[in-house]
Chain A
Amino acid sequence: MATATVIFAGIAIVLAILLIVSSHYLSTTENEVIDKIESLLPRIQCAQCGYPGCRPYAAAIVTDKADINLCPPGGNETVRRLAKFLGSDFSPVTKYSTTANLNEIAFISEELCIGCNLCLRACPVDAIVGTHQSMHTVISDHCTGCRLCIPPCPVDCISLVSRNA
């Protein structure tokens, strides 16, 4: 009886030490998980999830503050991918975006633009060029169609057009 107890206690202690050491050295870093989640998101930086960009949202998911169904452009497909990766349950996207794909880009109407610079600051991917008092324009190759430039515009000169047009 005593021998058995000692042997098992010994095994347990050895294993416990192994576990403690490995939990210290083998843990996955949070950053890797965030990278992976970010790669599953559409990454058009539209901020519709309530976070300033896709990486902050990914970080929020990892630190367990945010739901996985907040990304309207990604749609249910993205939620499904995230659910599969995180092993959590699927639930449909809470709000629907009018831009669910990357096929639309912003277009600044030249006649109306007053060069106020507000859209330039709003663009998450620096796809708008221009300076004060001069007309701005959208670099179509870089625009992700996130619509963040539309609300700040005081003269409503920005509209969305099809990418290929």
Chain B
Amino acid sequence: MSDIKTLIVDGLWTKNPALIQLLGICPLLAITTTLVNGLALGIATTVVLICTNSIVSLIRHTLLPSVRILIFVMIISSLVTTIDLLTNAFFHELHGVLGLFIPLIITNCTILAQAESVASRNSIGKSIISGGSAGLGFTAVLLVLGGFREIIGRGSLFSGIDMILGDSATDSFIKFPFDGALVAILPPGAFFGLAILIALRNLFIPTATIEQRLETNISESHG
């Protein structure tokens, strides 16, 4: 039980792919111009993660070590293509916005890392939980970054929600009483935003200070 709990906590926080492992930065930086974009990409990534993890886990005993990466990539790309076609069929508008970035999920290192380090070594159940929690952790970061950039860069929140909820929700986004600083929407804003998130993470997990504290403890006890 506690094993599953660690898996979930790992994916969401302690081994969060975007914040701690700094994987999948490319879609993270490119797509988070609004919260809704971030959400959509996050969901797509999570679905791909769960599927690839379960498939890789199933075939893990038959893998040849030297060509495993090749096989992972083949599996991931097939799945992503499927999801790309599905979104195009059922969420055509969203597909228009995410367009290029759904195929780009293939290059998201989170998925490859999960396949390599989790799915190819664990049972299917564990792999699915790990993949799902990592996907959700990634989605959470996309949401926070997307929301942050949208508020600062456009002065709005949930714009484009209609792409997910349908036309009835066209006007149901929040507009703040300022126009926003455009730089947050532009590529530099993505880097600033991610940097701030990582800085905040360092406040909670100060890796450097742990090292220092341990050192001083030892030198005190010996000095």
Contacts and interface: CB of A to CB of B under 8 A. Distances in A.
The answer to A–B direct touch (Cβ < 8 A) is yes
A91 B218 contact: no
Query: Is chain B's interface secondary structure helix, strand, loop, or mixed overall?
Result: helix
Contact of B214 (A8, A12, A92): A92
A19 interface: yes
A15 interface: yes
B200 interface: no
Nearest to B216: A92
Contacts of A16: 64, 66-67, 70
Given A90-B211, A92-B214, A93-B218, A12 B74 contact: yes
Interface string A8-26: 1000100110011001000
Interface string B51-68: 000000000000011110
Contact of B218 (A8, A12, A92): A92
Nearest to B223: A96
Interface residues of B, number: 12
B5 interface: no
A19 B222 contact: no
A19 B66 contact: yes
Query: Is chain A's interface secondary structure helix, strand, loop, or mixed overall?
Result: helix
A15 B70 contact: yes
Interface in A1-57: 8, 12, 15-16, 19-20, 23
B70 A19 contact: yes
A151 B211 CA distance: 34
A12 B67 CA distance: 9
B3 interface: no
Interface of B: 64-67, 69-70, 74, 211, 214-215, 218, 222
7 nearest A-B residue pairs (beta carbon): A23-B66, A16-B67, A96-B222, A92-B214, A20-B66, A19-B66, A19-B67
8 contacts: A12-B74, A19-B69, A20-B64, A20-B66, A76-B215, A91-B214, A92-B211, A92-B215
Given A16-B64, A92-B215, 12 more contacts: A8-B74, A15-B70, A16-B67, A16-B70, A19-B70, A20-B64, A20-B66, A23-B66, A91-B214, A92-B211, A93-B218, A96-B222
